[in-house]
Amino acid sequence: MRISSATLTAALSSVASASLQVVPGGTWTTPDGEHLQAHGAGFIEVNGTYYMIGEDKSGGHSFTNVNCYSSTDLVQWTYVGALLSQTSSGDLGPNRVVERPKVIYNDKTGKYVLWMHMDSSNYGEARVAVATGDSVCGKYEYIRSFQPLGRESRDMGLFKDDDGKAYLLTEDRNYGLRIVALSDDYLTPTTDVFSWRLEGGNRVEAPAMVKLGDTYFLFASMMTGWDPNDNQYTTSKSLGSGWSEWKKFADQGTNTYNSQTTYILKTSESSAIYMGDRWVKDNLMASTYVWLPLSISGTSVSMKNFVSWVPTSNFASWQNPPAETSYEAEAATYGGKARNIDCSGCSGKVAAGYIGGPDNGSVTFTGIRSDIDGLTTIRIKFLNGDSSPRYANVRVNGDAGRKIAFLTARGDPASSTLHAQLKKGSDNTIVIEGINGGWGPDVDRLMVPVQ
């Protein structure tokens, strides 16, 4: 068969985009140069674009914004705006708690409906709150907060069924977890559908539901505060009855790879992605995102951990991390006063220190190989002893560079993701330098997919 050049280009571009990777637990820098701030997030797809709606923790624990980011590849996320922002007083005023925002679309009213956990700073109010928007990522109109059906509600989730009915998943510390039906406009809880009494193996919170085929899957964490635990799931063919015993889905004893469920993203009738938060409880803005593909067979779910993975073009399957070449910073070229520093957790026990600063320390990696021309996720392995992020300008093949964030990382190097266009061959160059005299991270090495 003769392959037309158009076919060949399409095939090449799908290979090229397939080298973008999800890096669980990494620093995920968005184009504004900051770590993505959408914790406890919900997701909604509109016309082939995914929206990630979550908590902005850049100002600490108290509510500042419900942020919205968009992506078409689930890897590169761009800040679009805030659905809600802090006001001078009231529910959205100073020292308030807003957690786990979730959005669904109401086909009848044409409104996007946002539910969230609303609380005082000591979690004494235990309410939900609701708001609506005319566009998914625009400004929302705040409506009210209240206790659903007169009961306490802390962690919550939201589920829209195939038939257009919607449900609030609500955790009431005096009783347990409940599924509560919502009114047709999704603004009011109406009736109890099912509940788990808070006892034995039913001590669950952080609920997230997905329906695959004719089966409902409900995921939740156990109750250990901000600390992670082995999360669980239960299944049923009916929302109101027949729920199975709670079972673990990640490897036993890993505390769900140090994460807590926030959302399960359906990608086909038989596939879904687990989205969790790795909370840093004393520095919430530095919490990271642990997203992993679920392996689903009938009603059985399991999940393996990956350093990184590649969502394939329809997101319904994935590839394990590609083979990588590592490039040691201490073997690269230093500029300014950059120099070797001891790093017991680093490969070779050495990292490049004094990046940035008044003497413009930099490290230049040359001879980086890629087997294709294309957009590639590179992991920058680094340390940052500060509690606030450090930043670097990272230039690829002579471009002007982009600002990359590096969250706190002590002891073992962490990964920060760089999504950049590499050239086929072995003469790619990456420069890591400071920004305006600020200190950059200590750089251990680059991990570059071979493809």
Ligand X SMILES: *[C@@H]1O[C@H](CO)[C@@H](O)[C@H](O)[C@H]1NC(C)=O
| 15, 46, 149, 435: residue in contact with ligand X (rule CB under 6 A) | 46
Q: Which ranges of 320-376 would DSSP assign to H, the alpha helix?
A: none
The nearest distance, CB 47 to ligand X, in angstroms, is: 4
Contact 176, 196 (CB under 8 A): yes
The nearest distance, CB 55 to ligand X, in angstroms, is: 24
The nearest distance, CB 139 to ligand X, in angstroms, is: 15
CB contact set of 72 (below 8 Å; sequence gap of 6+) = 48, 49, 50
Contact 253, 230 (CB under 8 A): yes
With CA atoms as reference, report the closest residue to 396 among 376, 372, 416, 382.
Answer: 376
47 binds ligand X (CB under 6 A): yes
Of 47 and 88, the one with the shorter C-beta distance to ligand X is 47
Of 362 and 451, the one with the shorter C-beta distance to ligand X is 362
Of 93 and 437, the one with the shorter C-beta distance to ligand X is 437
Of 345 and 357, the one with the shorter C-beta distance to ligand X is 357
The nearest distance, CB 360 to ligand X, in angstroms, is: 4
Of 312 and 360, the one with the shorter C-beta distance to ligand X is 360
Contact 75, 311 (CB under 8 A): yes
The nearest distance, CB 5 to ligand X, in angstroms, is: 30
Residues of this chain, 206-245, that bind ligand X according to CB under 6 A: none
Strand 204-212, strand 166-172: pairing: unpaired
**CA 192, CA 185: separation in Å to the nearest integer?**
17
**CA 438, CA 333: separation in Å to the nearest integer?**
20
429 binds ligand X (CB under 6 A): no
Containing 426, the helix (H) or strand (E) segment is strand 425-433
Q: How many residues bind ligand X (CB under 6 A)?
A: 4
The nearest distance, CB 359 to ligand X, in angstroms, is: 5
In degrees, to the nearest 5, what angle opens at C-alpha 101 toward C-alphas 99 and 104? 160
Q: Residue 175 — φ and ψ, nearest 5°?
A: -135, -60
Of 47 and 252, the one with the shorter C-beta distance to ligand X is 47
Of 80 and 378, the one with the shorter C-beta distance to ligand X is 80
With CA atoms as reference, report the closest residue to 445 among 393, 386, 379, 369.
Answer: 379
The nearest distance, CB 290 to ligand X, in angstroms, is: 29
Beta strands in 304-361 (DSSP E): 310-311, 318-319, 324-328, 333-335, 339-342, 350-353
* DSSP secondary structure letter of residue 318: E
Residues of this chain, 344-383, that bind ligand X according to CB under 6 A: 359-360
Of 390 and 419, the one with the shorter C-beta distance to ligand X is 390
Tokens at residue 58, please? 């850049």
**CA 88, CA 153: separation in Å to the nearest integer?**
25
The nearest distance, CB 304 to ligand X, in angstroms, is: 35
Strand 65-71, strand 78-85: pairing: antiparallel
Q: Which residues bind ligand X (CB under 6 A)?
A: 46-47, 359-360
